[in-house]
Chains A and B, each alone.
Chain A
Amino acid sequence: MGYLQGFAVTLRQLFLPSVTTDYRGGFDDSPDDEKRPKPERMHGRHVLNRYEDGMEKCIGCELCAGVCPADCIYVRGADNDPDDPVAPGERYGYVYEINYLRCIHCDLCVEACPTQAITESKLFEFSFTNRANAVYTKDELLVDDDGKPQQLPWEDWRAGDDAMTSGWMRATSPSGDQRYLGVAAWSGELGYGVRSPEPADVIGSPDLSQPQVKVETSGHDDRKESHG
């Protein structure tokens, strides 16, 4: 009668505490409501970052749109007005739209971006009720004057949800190469300055508060090395 033991298992489970939390997404102010903190490198919704002086990082190069496997990003660049530039340099992202009905949150856009303009935050609530709301434009994606993401009506933020907006970018930048561990290879961000590197997920990795290896980054070719 071994197969009857299963019934005891399910009955026992009934009295164990739940492994899920009673997350209600801001639709209910019940005291039972609980939202778990999200992992720092979560692939949530995107933000468009700014430099510390408030300039936009996006240069309208469309590499993100090109690499996107779901074809959900639409970018149009425009020339900067020399007297009142939006971004440093020649061009800036004039239109930037992401369709979240298509986005698969693979973060390839984040890895493709040459200026770390686009990163993904820990925010994940997409409870829009029509298709027009599913297309986030620059108005929604760009960080505000303090460098914080903008809260959309359907997002239910808890303390610290908006803090980590570039975890995955820092974990993979510039190429995810082991030897770059602890090297901050990115520009400063409005509101944060130059953020420190992410802790490595390599077992037994050294203390990363100090860069371990000084890498010569110029003239480096990955392919040459891999072929010995």
Chain B
Amino acid sequence: MTNTFVFAADPLLVGDIGLAEVLLTLSKVLIAFGFLLVSVMLMIWFERKLLGGMHQRFGPTMAGPFGILQTLADGIKLFFKEDLVPDRSDRFVFKLAPYLSLIPAFLAFAIVPLGGDFNSGGSVEVFGHTTFLQVADPPVGILWFLAMSSVAVYGVMLAGWSSGSKYPLLGSVRASAQMVSYEAALGLSVASVVLVAGSLSTHDMVLAQAAEGYFGVIPRWNVIITGLVPFIVFMIAGTAELNRPPFDLVEAEQELVGGFHTEYSSIRFALFFLAEFMNTITMSAIIVTLFFGGPAGPVLISEIAGLNIGWAWGLLWFFVKLFVMLFVFIWMRATLPRFRYDQLMDLGWKALTPAALAWFLFLAALETGRRRDWNEALITLLSLLVISVATALLVRAVRNGRRIAAMQAQAMQAESVSERN
């Protein structure tokens, strides 16, 4: 009984709940909320401006200086549009779906460490209370992000299903298949990072990456320690998870009108739009946290006029890294054409998931070897041997599968021809 009560009041089991902690958490939530909304606004503007530049055009120019208020203008416009609910829709689910995609986008951001001086523990003093510059640091850590990104699938899926219309339904079927497929690769590359960091907590991960690097210049970031493969897999699978180009089959305009949000208008559509970009920001923040050391970075000036500003450097490094990641996402969108559906599934199941799995096992072998004082070179050699054998087997299986599929197709064609005759 007591335990249930404690859990209700203190879901993260940090203990010692007083008014100060509640107020502190509340203010952190409000700041994170405001930060996300503002950054979504800027992100949409940045994306349009950058895409414009890469297409050799201007992008928004008129709303505010450099068109920076364009998103606000679009939001206001959408807000005053007519809100349509199709007759054939499941009204309750139809109205619920936008929130199902929006709220997980907010919640996933809670575990991202935004700042703090990670050279000395990463905690900051706010009005005499020691705390982290992140909304929550639950013990489940990064699993929270995986859970939230899975819940977000429901928003897309239910939106398409409840619209009572064929294109949204097709879009949502694609979406759920795509997101479920890529979640495997995503989870496995996260597992590699967890294995190396030895903790699920995002705070601990950043702390581990803030440690002394190699040769004094190369930082001890997970992207280097885990050997690049998990990062590449995470980057690709993350893009697919976000339904961003080149994996935006869910809303492939040429085929599906608007995909799952075809029937949505007005503010409900705006919510989907908001969720999509918020997810992009959250995904970038997670990538920065997992692979690029989050707010960890050198503190160049630690004091101004007697005030300790070490934590502000954390914020700065975090935002610089976040900005670079967002740039990369937009760059990918401007460069790569959309995948075909079977290519998408092939890439997910036959390339990314096996690669992530093999690399995870390789890292696990290395880790075990390190703990038991085995010969590292021998382990690496053996692992690479096993991996190459497995790769050869996989390639052979895939080729066999293709050949059988082609033969079946041929047989079916011959059958239909003979029937016609």
Q: Within the assembled complex, what's the spacing in Å between the Cα atoms of A22 and B62?
A: 9
| Residues 4-27 of A contacting B (Cβ, < 8 Å) | 6-7, 9-11, 13-14, 16-20, 22, 24, 27
Q: List 17 A-B contacts (CB under 8 A).
A: A6-B335, A9-B335, A10-B331, A10-B335, A13-B53, A13-B55, A14-B50, A16-B56, A17-B56, A18-B52, A18-B56, A19-B57, A20-B58, A22-B61, A24-B62, A28-B62, A30-B61
Cβ-defined contact, B53 with A14, below 8 A: yes
Q: Within the assembled complex, what's the spacing in Å between the Cα atoms of A22 and B66?
A: 11
The smallest beta-carbon distance between B94 and chain A, in angstroms, is 30
Cβ-defined contact, A20 with B62, below 8 A: no
| Nearest 9 interchain pairs by C-beta | A20-B57, A6-B335, A10-B54, A14-B53, A10-B335, A10-B334, A19-B56, A13-B54, A7-B335
Q: Within the assembled complex, what's the spacing in Å between the Cα atoms of A22 and B60?
A: 10
Known: A13-B53, A19-B56. A27 touches B62 (CB 8 A): yes
Contacts of A16 in B (CB 8 A): 56
B9 is an interface residue with CB less than 8 A from chain A: no
Cβ-defined contact, A22 with B335, below 8 A: no
Contacts of B335 in A (CB 8 A): 6-7, 9-10
Contacts of B56 in A (CB 8 A): 13, 16-20
Contacts of B54 in A (CB 8 A): 10-11, 13-14
A32 is an interface residue with CB less than 8 A from chain B: yes
| Residues 367-388 of B contacting A (Cβ, < 8 Å) | none
Q: Mark B302-326 against chain A: 1 for CB-CB distance below 8 A, else 0.
A: 0000000000000000000000000
Q: Within the assembled complex, what's the spacing in Å between the Cα atoms of A190 and B363?
A: 86
B8 is an interface residue with CB less than 8 A from chain A: no
Cβ-defined contact, B58 with A18, below 8 A: yes
Known: A13-B56, A14-B53, A18-B56. A32 touches B331 (CB 8 A): no
Cβ-defined contact, A32 with B61, below 8 A: yes
Contacts of B55 in A (CB 8 A): 13
Q: Within the assembled complex, what's the spacing in Å between the Cα atoms of A27 and B73?
A: 15
Cβ-defined contact, B57 with A18, below 8 A: yes
Most buried by A among B53, B62, B334, B335: B335
Most buried by A among B52, B56, B331, B336: B56
The smallest beta-carbon distance between B317 and chain A, in angstroms, is 24
Q: Mark B22-40 against chain A: 1 for CB-CB distance below 8 A, else 0.
A: 0000000000000000000
The smallest beta-carbon distance between A228 and chain B, in angstroms, is 46
Name which residue of chain A comes closest to B332, CB basis: A7
Q: Within the assembled complex, what's the spacing in Å between the Cα atoms of A9 and B336?
A: 11
| Residues 188-223 of B contacting A (Cβ, < 8 Å) | none
Contacts of A6 in B (CB 8 A): 335-336
Contacts of A11 in B (CB 8 A): 54, 331
Cβ-defined contact, B331 with A22, below 8 A: no
Contacts of B58 in A (CB 8 A): 18, 20, 22
Q: Within the assembled complex, what's the spacing in Å between the Cα atoms of A18 and B53?
A: 7
Partner pick for B331 among A7, A20, A27, CB 8 A cutoff: A7
Contacts of B50 in A (CB 8 A): 14
Contacts of B336 in A (CB 8 A): 6
A contacts, CB < 8 Å to B: 6-7, 9-11, 13-14, 16-20, 22, 24, 27-28, 30, 32
Q: Within the assembled complex, what's the spacing in Å between the Cα atoms of A17 and B61?
A: 15
The smallest beta-carbon distance between B324 and chain A, in angstroms, is 13
Name which residue of chain A comes closest to B51, CB basis: A10
B contacts, CB < 8 Å to A: 50, 52-58, 61-62, 331, 334-336
Name which residue of chain B comes closest to A32, CB basis: B61
Q: Within the assembled complex, what's the spacing in Å between the Cα atoms of A28 and B62?
A: 7
Q: Within the assembled complex, what's the spacing in Å between the Cα atoms of A28 and B52?
A: 20
Contacts of A24 in B (CB 8 A): 61-62
Name which residue of chain A comes closest to B52, CB basis: A18
Contacts of A13 in B (CB 8 A): 53-56
The smallest beta-carbon distance between A16 and chain B, in angstroms, is 6
Q: Within the assembled complex, what's the spacing in Å between the Cα atoms of A14 and B331?
A: 10
Contacts of A14 in B (CB 8 A): 50, 53-54
Contacts of A20 in B (CB 8 A): 56-58
Q: Within the assembled complex, what's the spacing in Å between the Cα atoms of A16 and B52?
A: 11
Name which residue of chain B comes closest to A20, CB basis: B57
Name which residue of chain B comes closest to A15, CB basis: B53
Given A10-B335, A18-B58, A28-B62, 8 other A-B residues pairs in contact with their CB atoms under 8 A: A6-B336, A10-B54, A11-B331, A17-B56, A18-B53, A18-B57, A20-B57, A27-B62
Name which residue of chain A comes closest to B56, CB basis: A19
The smallest beta-carbon distance between A11 and chain B, in angstroms, is 7
Contacts of B331 in A (CB 8 A): 7, 10-11
The smallest beta-carbon distance between A27 and chain B, in angstroms, is 7
Q: Within the assembled complex, what's the spacing in Å between the Cα atoms of A18 and B57?
A: 5
Q: Within the assembled complex, what's the spacing in Å between the Cα atoms of A80 and B54?
A: 60
Contacts of B61 in A (CB 8 A): 22, 24, 30, 32
Q: Within the assembled complex, what's the spacing in Å between the Cα atoms of A17 and B58?
A: 9
Q: Within the assembled complex, what's the spacing in Å between the Cα atoms of A24 and B53?
A: 18
The smallest beta-carbon distance between A165 and chain B, in angstroms, is 29
Name which residue of chain A comes closest to B333, CB basis: A10
Q: Within the assembled complex, what's the spacing in Å between the Cα atoms of A30 and B65?
A: 10
The smallest beta-carbon distance between B59 and chain A, in angstroms, is 9
The smallest beta-carbon distance between A114 and chain B, in angstroms, is 43
Q: Within the assembled complex, what's the spacing in Å between the Cα atoms of A10 and B337?
A: 12
Q: Within the assembled complex, what's the spacing in Å between the Cα atoms of A27 and B67?
A: 13
Name which residue of chain B comes closest to A25, CB basis: B62
Name which residue of chain A comes closest to B328, CB basis: A7
The smallest beta-carbon distance between B53 and chain A, in angstroms, is 5
Q: Within the assembled complex, what's the spacing in Å between the Cα atoms of A11 and B50?
A: 10
Contacts of A18 in B (CB 8 A): 52-53, 56-58
